[in-house]
Structure 1
Amino acid sequence: MNKLFLIIKREFIAKVRNKSFIVMTFLSPLLFVGIAALVGFLSTMNKDKATEIAIHDEGGFIKTNFKNNKDFHYSDISTMPFGIAKDSAARNYEGLLYIPKVDSLQLIKDKVEYISENSASINFIGHVEKIVDSVLTSNQLRILGLDEKKIEEAKVDSTLKLSKFSGEESLKGLNEIKIAIGGLMGYLIMMFIIIYGNFVMRSVIEEKTNRIIEIIISSVKPFQLMMGKIIGNSLAGILQFLIWIIVGLLLAFVAQTFFGLQLNSSASLSPEMMAAAGQSEGMLKFQSYWTELMNLPLTLMLVSFILYFIGGYFLYSSLYAAIGAAVDSETDSQQFLLPIIMPLILGVYIGFFTVINDPHGTVATVFSIIPFTSPIVMLMRIPFGVPWWQLVLSLVILFGTFTFVVWFAAKIYRVGILMYGKKPTWKELFKWLKY
C-alpha cells in the first residue's frame, strides 16, 4: 500500500509541476472569457449593416410588401429591363429577387427566384417565403369573398396549462432546463475522462519509450503502477478544476467590483422597484422556475455526480492505461481509442435525443444502467426522478464492471509494458489475457 501511495504522489507532483499544466490551469479561464467576448463582439459586428437586396417585380404586385429592416435593405429596380437589372444587381447588390409577370397572382407561388453568387441564408429564405405566402393568401381570400380582417380577428391563441396529479402547477420548458443541468454534468464527466485518460496513456507510453518502466516494474507490481497513475492523474485533474472554479469566481468578483457589472438582476433595483417588479408576470415566472429548480433532488444529483465521476473515470482510465502499455507510440494507439470513445459519444446522443422526450422509456433506462454509458445518461435522467432501485443497480454494475475492467486491463498492462518494437493487434491483446 505504501508503494501505491508513493506512485500516486509521484504522478501527482509530476503532473502539477509540468509547465503546460500550470499555464493551462491559470490561462484556461482567461481563454474562455476571451473567446466568449470575441464571439459576442463578432456577433454584433454586422448588426448595423443590412444586406442589400435588389427587387425586380415585373407585375408590381409584391414589391411593396418588402419593407426595410435591420437585416435586409431592399431596392426596387423593376423599371430596368431584366437583363440590365441582373447585371446591375451582380455589381451593386448581394442578390436579385426576381418576381416574373404572370396572368394570375396565384401562379407566382413557385416562380419567385433569388439570384446571387452566394447561398441565401435560411433566415432570408424564410423571410421571403413568408411575405409571398401572405400576399397570395390575402389575394385568395379576396377571390373567395372572405373578409381577411374578420378571419384574423377570429383566430384564437390557446395556452396549454401544465399541472401534476397533486394539483401543483407545472411549468413549460422545465424539461429543457433539467436536461441542460444533467447534460452539463454528463459533459463534464466525458471531457474529464477523455482529457485525463489521455494523460494516463501518454504517461505510460513515455515511460515505456524511455525504458524507465523496466526499472520501476522491478520494485512494484504492474497493478499498483497502473492504479497509481490513474489516481495520481485524477487528483491533478480535480485540483485543476478547483482552481478553475476559484479563478472564475475571482474574475466574476473583479468584473463586479472594478467594471461595475451587476451579476444579478436585482442588484440595481431599489426595494420599491423590487416590490413592483415582484408583481410582474416575468418576475413571477422567474420565481416559479427558481422554486422548481430548488425542488429538484440537488443533494442526490451532487452525490450521484461524484459517484459516477469516480466510477466512470476509473473505468475508462484503466482502459487508457492498458492501451498505453500495449503500444510504443501515441500514433499506434489510434486504432484502439475509437471503441473507447464511441460509448461516451453514444451516451451524449442518447441523453439529448431520448432522455428529453422520454426520460423513463426503455432506451433511456437501459443505457442508464449499461456501465459504459451510465455516467452520462443516468445523470441526465436523475433531474426527472429515477427509481432508487435503478440508481443502485446502475452504480453496482458500474463499479462491478470497473473492478472487472481493472483486472482485464491489468493483465494487458502487465504484458504490454515490456513489449517493444511490434504493433499489437486486437487478436494479440486477447492472447495476453491468457498469460
Structure 2
Amino acid sequence: MSIISLIIKREFVAKVRNKSFIVMTFLSPFLFVGIAVFVGYLSTMKPDNKKVAIHDETGLFVNEFKALNDEYVFQDLSMVDMKFLKDSITYESYEGVLYIPKVSNNADLENKIEFISNESPSISFIEKLQEVISKKLTKENFKNSNLDTIAIQKAQAKVNINLAKASGEKSLRGINEIKIAIGGAFGYLIMMFIIIYGNMVMRSVIEEKTNRIVEIIISSVKPFQLMMGKIIGTSLAGLLQFFIWAIIGLGLMFVASALLGIDASPAANIPPSIVKSAHQEFGGMASIYIQDLWGLPIATILFSFVIYFIGGYFLYSSFYAAIGAAVDSETDSQQFLLPIIMPLILAVYIGFFTVINDPHGTVATVFSMIPLTSPIVMLMRIPFGVPWWQLAISISILFATFLFVVWFAAKIYRVGILMYGKKPSWKELYKWLKY
C-alpha cells in the first residue's frame, strides 16, 4: 500500500472515530428536522392582530382598509379627539393612528396625511396605505372631473406577452429562476463543504503541529504526501457524513409525516375544488414547466457537480492546509482566511445577480473560467446551456490551477510545518516560497 493511501486511511479513521464527529453526524439531522418542524409550526400560527385607529375627517377612506392586511385591524375612531388617540398610542392601546385631515380639495390632501405611532412601521405597510389612498383619491378626482370611471376601467389595457422558443415550442416566465435555483443549490453545497471541511483540514494540521506529532510523521513522509493524504482523507469523511445526514434526514421527515399526519406534498392544504380548477386552467402550463425542466442538461449538471466538487474542494483545501502549517493556532489563521473566503462569496453574488440576467454575458463567462469562482458560477450557468468547449476549458483551468496551488502550498507546508513560536506575515510566506 502506498504512503498516501496509508495517510488517507489514517485521516479517515481518525475523523470517523472522533467523538464530536460521531455526535454531530447523528445529532445534526435531528436538529435540522426539529428546526424545520418548529419553523413550519410557527408559519401556521396567525400573528397577533395589531389595532390601527383611523381618524378620517373627510369620511372618504373609513371603509377602504378592511381587506388591506390580516395582521392589522382598522377601527374607525373619527369621532374621537386626536389628543386621546395619541395618548392611546403612548399606552400601546393602538399600534398607530392614521390621521386624514379635512381639506378644501384633494390635491392638498396628498401631502398632509399622517401615520402616528411609537415605532416606525414597515415600508410595505406604508406603501399599501398609500396605494389604497391613491386609488380612492384618483376615483374621486375622476368623479369631480365628470369622467366615466367605468369607461376608463374598460379602456385600460392589460398586456400579457407569451414566451416562445425559436424552435416553435412554448415557454413560460419563471423558468430562469428555477434554473438559477438548481444551479445555486449545487454551488452553495460546494461552498459549504469547502468552508466546513477545509477548516477541518486546517485544524488537523494545527493540532498535529501543536502536539509535535508532525515531527515524527515528517521523518518518514514527504510534506506533499502528508498534505494530500489529509485533504483526501478528510473529504472522504465529509462525504460519509453528508451521506448519513441525507439518509437520517429523509427517514425522519417520513416518520414525522406519518406520526403527525402531515402531507408533505405541495397541494396538501389546498381544497380539492381549487386544485381541480387550477389543474384545468394551468394544467397546460405545468406540462410546459415539466417539459422545460426535463429539457435541462441533467446529466451534464450531475457530472459537472462531481467534477467541480472535487476540483474546488482540493483547490481550496490546499490553501487551508498551507495556512494550518504556517500558524500555531486558529486565532493566528484569521488574517489568512479572508482572502480565501472572499472569492467564494464573490462567486455567489455573481451567480445570483449576474448569471440570472445574462448567463452567457462577459462577466458570467469570465468568472466561470476563473478557478477560484468557477465551481459556483459555472454550475449556475450550466442549466442555461453552456457550450462544451467552455466547460472543457473551465475544468482544465481548474485542475491545472489545483496542481499549481498544490505545488505552491506544498512549499509553504514544507517550511511552515516545522516552524514554531512565530506569527508569520505575508512577507514571511513569500520568503518560504523561495526555500
TM range (shorter): over 0.9
State the one-letter code of the partner of 2:22: I
Q: Is the 8 A contact 1:54 1:77 kept in 2?
A: yes
- Residues 98 and 256 of structure 1: is their aligned pair in 2 closer, same or farther, counting only changes over 3 Å? closer
State the one-letter code of the partner of 2:281: E
Q: Which residue of 1 aligns with 2:49?
A: 50
Q: Which residue of 1 aligns with 2:166?
A: 165
Q: Which residue of 2 aligns with 1:2?
A: 2
Q: Which residue of 2 aligns with 1:196?
A: 197
Q: Which residue of 2 aligns with 1:357?
A: 357
Please tell me whether residue 66 in structure 1 is matched to residue 65 in structure 2.
yes
Per-residue displacement from partner, 1:388-423 (whole Å, max 9, x unpaired)? 110000000000000000000000000001111110
Aligned length: 431
Q: Which residue of 1 aligns with 2:225?
A: 224
Q: Percent identity?
A: 65
Tell me by how many angstroms 1:310 deviates. 0.3
Q: Which residue of 1 aligns with 2:281?
A: 281
Tell me by how many angstroms 1:93 deviates. 0.5
Per-residue displacement from partner, 1:259-291 (whole Å, max 9, x unpaired)? 44444469999xxx9x97896133332232122
Q: Which residue of 2 aligns with 1:77?
A: 77
- Residues 373 and 84 of structure 1: is their aligned pair in 2 closer, same or farther, counting only changes over 3 Å? same
Matches of 2:66 and 2:194, distance apart in 1? 53
Please tell me whether residue 179 in structure 1 is matched to residue 180 in structure 2.
yes
Per-residue displacement from partner, 1:361-406 (whole Å, max 9, x unpaired)? 0000000000000000000000000011100000000000000000
- Specify every segment of 5 or more residues in structure 1 that has no aligned partner in the other structure, as ranges: none
- Residues 411 and 173 of structure 1: is their aligned pair in 2 closer, same or farther, counting only changes over 3 Å? same
Coordinate RMSD, CA, aligned: 2.2
Q: Is the 8 A contact 2:183 2:380 kept in 1?
A: yes
State the one-letter code of the partner of 2:192: M
Per-residue displacement from partner, 1:166-204 (whole Å, max 9, x unpaired)? 101112110000000000000000000000000000000
Q: Secondary structure at the match of 2:120?
A: coil
Q: Which residue of 1 aligns with 2:252?
A: 251
Please tell me whether residue 311 in structure 1 is matched to residue 311 in structure 2.
yes
Matches of 2:269 and 2:85, distance apart in 1? 55
Q: Which residue of 2 aligns with 1:420?
A: 420
Q: Is the 8 A contact 1:315 1:402 kept in 2?
A: yes
Q: Is the 8 A contact 1:223 1:414 kept in 2?
A: yes
Q: Which residue of 1 aligns with 2:432?
A: 432
Q: Is the 8 A contact 2:170 2:288 kept in 1?
A: no
Q: Which residue of 2 aligns with 1:115?
A: 116
Q: Which residue of 2 aligns with 1:292?
A: 292
- Specify every segment of 5 or more residues in structure 2 that has no aligned partner in the other structure, as ranges: none
Q: Which residue of 1 aligns with 2:375?
A: 375
Q: Secondary structure at the match of 2:163?
A: coil
Q: Single out whichever of 37-46 and 168-177 deviates more from structure 2.
A: 37-46
Q: Is the 8 A contact 2:315 2:406 kept in 1?
A: yes
Matches of 1:290 and 1:16, distance apart in 2? 41
- Residues 89 and 260 of structure 1: is their aligned pair in 2 closer, same or farther, counting only changes over 3 Å? closer
- Residues 279 and 429 of structure 1: is their aligned pair in 2 closer, same or farther, counting only changes over 3 Å? closer
Q: Is the 8 A contact 2:33 2:252 kept in 1?
A: no
State the one-letter code of the partner of 1:81: D
Q: Is the 8 A contact 2:201 2:230 kept in 1?
A: yes
Q: Which residue of 1 aligns with 2:235?
A: 234
State the one-letter code of the partner of 1:389: W
Q: Which residue of 2 aligns with 1:146?
A: 147
Matches of 2:46 and 2:190, distance apart in 1? 37
Matches of 1:328 and 1:186, distance apart in 2? 32
Tell me by how many angstroms 1:425 deviates. 0.3
Matches of 1:138 and 1:341, distance apart in 2? 55
Tell me by how many angstroms 1:33 deviates. 1.6
- Residues 217 and 187 of structure 1: is their aligned pair in 2 closer, same or farther, counting only changes over 3 Å? same
Please tell me whether residue 392 in structure 1 is matched to residue 404 in structure 2.
no
